[in-house]
Structure 1
Amino acid sequence: MNLQSASEGQQSGSVRIVAWFKERLVRGELRIGDRVLPERELAQELSVGRPLLREVLKSLAMLGLLDIRPGSGTFIARADIRLLTDFFTFCMSQEQDVLEDVMQARIAIECQAIRLACERANESDLARIGQWLGALIETLDDPEAGGRADFMFHQSIVAASHSRSLTTLYGALSELLQQSHVERRRVTYQHRKVVGDLIAAHRQVFLSIVAKKPDEADQRLREHFAIGDELRRRSLIEAYRKGPETAQH
């Protein structure tokens, strides 16, 4: 066997191993805490060599998907969302205009999440959202702290949806979203009238959740996003009036 065919065979074996785990997790045949087949049996079932299997298992363990316990075996682990966040941020950061693209994903997630939050939010959820609303107001002149408070306000709404899928997707975007909030806050600080509009919009969003009115909450959230879009449009126009070089920074 030449080097190329050996490499292709190894890749095929790796894909087969990963697919084996994925299929059984999706079908519910493997759950968190379950012990995986012993290495020898799993290698025979998948028709792969034990050295290759061992390397793939180590890779899956590094991703937080498996827990390898020497002397006890290999177990299905609960994946750490922070690893997904790191991976997603690394991949997306290579794209142009990534923050604008992430913003569109954010709108889709939050608009569904806020509807669920109106139905599912408990007192603890509402207290947390209200807490970050207060922090957001107190940090108007601090782009870093204000950007984080703004992010946490919206993240708390998504958490109040009690939807694991939505919170996982939002968590994967978290680093890019926080960066977006800080940059938007720097722009907002230069337009004091808009600051008042944004604070009022956040209050209306919060009150709509408290009132358990999903249609109203959705509308208020979209109006809030529209204020930000208009602000970015104005800033871009002003930048181009000063010169194309300014607009690019």
Structure 2
Amino acid sequence: MTLAQDIQPQTAPRTGGAERIIAYFKERMILGEMKVGERLPPERELAQHLGVGRPLLREVIRSLSMLGLLDVRQGSGTYVGRADLGVLSDFFTFCLSQEQDILDDVMQSRIAIEVQAIRLACARANERDLARIGQWLARLIETLDDPDAGGAADFAFHQAMVKASHSRSLITLYGALSELLRRSHVERRRTTYDRREVVGDLVEAHREVFLSIVAKDADAAEARLREHFAIGDELRRRSLIETYRKGTGPG
């Protein structure tokens, strides 16, 4: 059934007009009835079908087009677009940034994504994926004395690992958290870069994670990754203790 064939008069449900329009697009995208590149029905028919005014419909369509979900072409019509992950990531970052102590919560989400991603990477990673992860490991080692570049390389290593899972869902979710995760990596490096024994442990942990993926050993890879996260938790704990001992804690 095409989108045009789907347009039938209906009784408007008891929801706001904008919510009804968004629900219409969301449901059809989930069901696969709206495919990228497909042209939407004429505005008049769509507005009548949804029981909303054309000005409101245009406003919602304009908002969805800003996210890349719809593609408005002057003189041609409106088409189903492909969402811009960068825009969605920015929006997601804005929403999360309004929450208190969000980085700890984001860290838990990161663990959940990476643990599954690394298991998939052990089965799906190709030579190009392994080369990319290895390159970021090398870059991580080269930038031990540079918190900003080192933190960025650390993040890129983990991002490359997630991409090696070839799971579009995990990659999309990780991408939505990317800005917060990148900042987290840099901030951690700034608190630990001058402690060589700590940095050395982190380098070895990354190396073991990489070698486990190369060996295609999912159980070992997950274990090494969890050990790596445990090291990070210990570093944050030590940093918090030292901060309060110096009298620079909150309050």
Higher helix share: 1
Partner of residue 247, structure 1: 249
Partner of residue 167, structure 1: 171
How far apart, in 2, do the equivalents of 1:237 and 1:69 lie?
57
Question: Deviating runs (4+, > 6 A) in structure 1?
Answer: none
Secondary structure class of the residue paired with 2:79: strand
Partner of residue 219, structure 1: 223
TM-score under structure 1 length normalisation: 0.93
Shift of 1:73: 0.7
Range moving further from structure 2, 188-197 or 210-219? 188-197
Partner of residue 198, structure 2: 194
Question: Which amino acid in the other structure matches residue 230 of structure 1?
Answer: E
Which residue, 25, 32, 37 being the options, matches 2:36?
32
Q: Contact 1:10 / 1:52 at 8 angstroms: preserved in 2?
A: no
How far apart, in 2, do the equivalents of 1:195 and 1:247 lie?
24
Matches within 5 A, 1:101-180: 101-180=105-184
Secondary structure class of the residue paired with 1:29: coil
Question: Which amino acid in the other structure matches residue 198 of structure 2?
Answer: V
How far apart, in 1, do the equivalents of 2:192 and 2:227 lie?
16
Secondary structure class of the residue paired with 2:209: helix
Shift of 1:11: 7.2
Q: Contact 2:140 / 2:154 at 8 angstroms: preserved in 1?
A: yes
Q: Contact 2:144 / 2:150 at 8 angstroms: preserved in 1?
A: yes
Question: Which amino acid in the other structure matches residue 247 of structure 1?
Answer: G
Give ranges in structure 1 of 5+ residues lacking alignment. 1-8
Question: Which amino acid in the other structure matches residue 40 of structure 1?
Answer: R
How far apart, in 1, do the equivalents of 2:191 and 2:181 lie?
15
The C-alpha deviation readout for 1:50-86, integer Å capped at 9, x for no partner, is: 1111111111111211000111110000000011111
Partner of residue 237, structure 1: 241
How far apart, in 2, do the equivalents of 1:181 and 1:55 lie?
39
Shift of 1:248: 3.2
How far apart, in 1, do the equivalents of 2:41 and 2:84 lie?
23
Identity %, equivalent residues: 73
How far apart, in 2, do the equivalents of 1:123 and 1:104 lie?
29
Shift of 1:190: 3.0
Kindly report the root-mean-square deviation, in angstroms, between the aligned alpha carbons of the 2 structures: 1.5
TM-score under structure 2 length normalisation: 0.92
Secondary structure class of the residue paired with 2:16: helix
Secondary structure class of the residue paired with 1:34: coil
The C-alpha deviation readout for 1:163-199, integer Å capped at 9, x for no partner, is: 0000000000000000000001111213211111110
How far apart, in 1, do the equivalents of 2:42 and 2:230 lie?
56
Secondary structure class of the residue paired with 2:225: helix
Give ranges in structure 2 of 5+ residues lacking alignment. 1-12
